[in-house]
Chain A
């Protein structure tokens, strides 16, 4: 039942991977195993949170990259840029500088992703999900975490389109009449948004023609600005689309979404906080909460894995910037939105997501039960120190891997040191994949 089509943006750079256990131990869904000295990601379990990449000491985990040359395929090149991107620069680089550099890099229109928040507001979009508390779907990593680890909560997920998608819909509608060869590009602060956008058949895929990673764009803009520093800076550059309201600009910050909801809200950021909270929520029968804003990254999108600048400084810049924009939406902008209203009708909610059922030991109940029993018996023999030398994140994970015939008890280094002879008889009991003399797995079996 797992979605095989889900696109993954994170990958292991095998030449750099030393097979240390950092990523495996950090992964919130236990999606990583070490085999033959290299880390491997189980695509069914990976939620693209980027924790492994953040913790890797050898730069052996990377995010796929689209090149800017893809712009050449289009004549009208629209960039949908989240506010977080502008916050990557310090105050010496003004918004006008950044916009100017983006136009020089080949974009013909610039839209702020957060404008989508105001569009949703003007259109009075209502969420079709009615299970309370409503969980924000803004962070794709959290959405996938719930699909993988918290299947009981999938119905609580919001189905409303994210602001960047809404802005893309708007841009497409507004510009379609004027130009042919229209290409819309999104600037992404993290792997999860790339994965969501690239998953074939996903709503995002139809909206965006390409995706540009924050770090790449940052470097290009910096290089451009450094080169043209001496130029007479007379021309003022700005968005093709007037920006947004104060409240909307703070959307991607922690508690930024909560301010758009009435009733009791809660904002939780950083992966292990989110998991701890979801565990409680799954058990809780009644909560008085109406809306939950959950972000996989610390401090929200400013903590994204592709961001360049310190997240607290970036947050501060967005806050400062937001204090300079009006609280109310301008009449002009409001009219432009209403003019394109047709494009959004029946289009503001997405299909509800499904639980992924990838945690189970087997799709068949009775086989799953057998494997569970087997894993329990194996676990009793394992040392319980979770050293990770076997290539599984914990003794419990190894016992389950053995029960699923994906590992051998011979991989346990502690048992081998204690008594190689006992290990042989245990391996005979629990079954094994053939091993070479040095105890490493041989995949030819």
Chain B
């Protein structure tokens, strides 16, 4: 079920005393990435690397890769199946939202290969 992984991550982040607004950004991005893995790929994993002032989250799936990354980054563009859309996802905002939520995003992907998202979140001072 989409959302389980990001929910579990949220619980951990709270225990690690990560600032609430940073948790919010991480959860928004990881939730979107999690949905992408479920909706578009064969499966995948989420890796988190905690550092003193930042968190690095890697979402790695097992394929089939994104043929045109630039198109996928466009707001509103989606290849989601009707089944996925019926569940309320597939609005074409996934990758654009991820880019907005994190401080640094790098994506490796190739049609026929896997997709690897690297997201970096810095703990910003909160007002």
Contacts and interface: CB of A to CB of B under 8 A. Distances in A.
Contacts of B15: 359-361, 368, 372, 400
Residue of A285, A357, A365, A368 with most chain B CB atoms under a 10 A cut-off: A365
A433 B14 CA distance: 27
Contact of A365 (B7, B23, B52): B52
B24 A369 contact: no
Nearest to A282: B10
B16 interface: yes
Given A365-B50, A369-B50, A152 B16 contact: no
A169 B53 CA distance: 46
A364 to B, nearest CB: 8
Nearest to A376: B12
Given A151-B14, A359-B15, A368-B16, A283 B6 contact: yes
Contacts of A400: 15
Interface residues of A, number: 21
A372 B20 contact: no
Contacts of A152: 20, 23-24, 27
B17 A362 contact: yes
A369 B28 CA distance: 22
A355 interface: yes
A283 B16 contact: no
Main secondary structure of the interface of A (DSSP, over half): helix
Interface in B28-55: 28, 31, 50, 52-53
B24 A368 contact: no
Main secondary structure of the interface of B (DSSP, over half): helix
B20 A283 contact: no
A365 B31 contact: no
Contacts of B24: 152
Given A283-B7, A369-B50, A363 B17 contact: yes
A23 to B, nearest CB: 23
Nearest to A1: B17
A400 B28 CA distance: 27
A366 interface: yes
B20 A368 contact: no
A154 interface: yes
Contacts of A365: 16-18, 50, 52-53, 123
Contacts of B18: 365
B3 interface: yes
A355 B10 contact: no
Contact residues on B (Cβ < 8 Å of other chain), bracket: 20 to 34
Contacts of A372: 12, 15-16
Nearest to B53: A365
Interface in A235-289: 279, 282-283, 285
Contacts of B123: 365
A355 B16 contact: no
Contacts of B14: 151, 359-360
A366 B31 contact: no
B17 A368 contact: yes
Nearest to A285: B28
B10 A283 contact: yes
A143 B96 CA distance: 34
Contact of B17 (A279, A283, A285, A360): A360
B66 to A, nearest CB: 22
Contacts of A361: 15-17
A366 B27 contact: no
A152 B12 CA distance: 14
Contact of A355 (B20, B52, B53): B20
Contacts of B52: 365-366
Interface string A390-430: 00000000001000000000000000000000000000000
A282 B10 CA distance: 9
A428 to B, nearest CB: 26
Interface of B: 3, 6-7, 10, 12, 14-18, 20, 23-24, 27-28, 31, 50, 52-53, 123
13 contacts: A152-B27, A283-B6, A283-B7, A283-B10, A359-B14, A360-B16, A363-B17, A364-B17, A365-B16, A365-B50, A365-B53, A366-B50, A372-B15
Top 9 A-B pairs, shortest CB-CB distance: A360-B17, A151-B20, A368-B16, A359-B14, A152-B20, A369-B50, A152-B24, A361-B15, A355-B20
Interface of A: 151-152, 154, 279, 282-283, 285, 355, 357, 359-366, 368-369, 372, 400
Given A360-B17, A362-B17, A368-B16, 8 more contacts: A151-B14, A282-B10, A283-B10, A285-B28, A360-B14, A365-B16, A366-B52, A400-B15
